[in-house]
Structure 1
Amino acid sequence: MSELSRQRPQFRNINAFKDLTTYRLPAAGWVSILHRISGALMFVLLPLIVWLFDTSVSSEISYERFSSAFSAGIGFVPGWLFKLVVLAIIWAYLHHLIAGLRHLYMDARHAVTKQFGKSSAVVTLVLSIGLTVVLGAKLFGLY
């Protein structure tokens, strides 16, 4: 069989309705998408982050109000839901920081190989989720 008569692979665009459910995104793709989501989440929740910081350092009375938000809640928002929102902020910060450091390292060292991209993406996911679980356990009073 000659080289010219062999079939070449055909590349096509994916169909969003048929192929998206079966498409397997690599770990680096998940890290990239989650990096964007975590940045957007931090941007959207920035007023809450500023309020949390301001309330926690302004005075002893405002710190008590800050502390009671985690146990009793604020207005119609119960304390556990408030803790979940803060846990989402913690995850967003940790993931964005670790993924950003990953990108900086890859840019500085020119370490753009498929194997390093995969392994560093897995490390990023494990670190960000693991640290979030540890800090979430502290936030919910498990230790």
Structure 2
Amino acid sequence: MPQPSRQAFLNPLQIKMPVGAWTSLGHRITGILLAAGLPLSVYLVDRSMRSEQAFADVSAMFKMLPVKGLAVILLWALSHHLLAGVRHLLTDFNLGSPLRTARRTAWFVNLGAIAVTLVAAGVLL
């Protein structure tokens, strides 16, 4: 009679994933962040358009550090999600599918999203 297999402890921090996997995971996470941040963004835009005072109130909110931090996170999520989405779209057309090219485009997405975020955050701050 065969012995039952032992359960293995899986530590996700010890798994070495390639850069493409991190990019794909980031694409999913940023999609969730964007979906979660959309109601707040719509509310702030709606509120800022009601009157001059409401616009001033919303502008004052963006001077607070936690709101700035949230805005930078959402900027990163938007830039990463957009770049990764274009990358995935191009691979659907067999552009950038070879492994070497796929790794380069994954690095471009990850570093490009950070660069876009830093530039946008410099304008924001």
TM-score greater than 0.5 by the shorter chain: yes
Partner of 1:41: 33
What is the match of residue 65 of structure 1? 57
The answer for unaligned runs of 5 or more in structure 1 is 1-13, 72-78
What secondary structure does 2:13 align onto?
Answer: coil
1:54 and 2:46 are equivalent in the alignment:
yes
Taking the aligned partners of 2:52 and 2:121, their CA distance within structure 1 comes to: 25
Secondary structure in 2 matching 1:109: coil
Aligned equivalents of 1:109 and 1:59: distance in 2? 50
Larger Rg: 1
Distance in 2 separating the partners of 1:132 and 1:139: 10
> Aligned residue for 2:10?
16
Instruction: Give, in angstroms, the shift of residue 111 of structure 1.
Output: 3.6
- The residue type equivalent to 1:46 in the other structure is L
Deviation at 1:15, TM superposition (A): 4.5
| Identity over aligned pairs, percent | 31
**2-side partners of 1:58 and 1:119: how far apart?**
46
Name whichever of 131-140 and 104-113 sits farther off: 104-113
User: 1:30 and 1:57 mapped to 2: Cα distance?
Assistant: 39
The CA RMSD over aligned residues, in Å, is 1.6
- Of the candidates 87, 93, 111, which is equivalent to residue 72 of structure 2? 87
Select the structure that is richer in helix.
2
Contact 2:96 2:105 in 1 (8 A): no
Q: After superposition, what is the alpha-carbon deviation per residue over 1:71-105, rounded to whole angstroms, capped at 9, x for unaligned? A: 2xxxxxxx100110111111111110000001111
Runs of 4 or more consecutive aligned structure 1 residues displaced over 2 Å after TM superposition: 20-23, 55-59
Structure 2: 5+ residue stretches without partners: 1-7
Aligned partner of 2:110 in structure 1 is 125
Secondary structure at 2:78 match in 1: helix
Aligned residues: 118
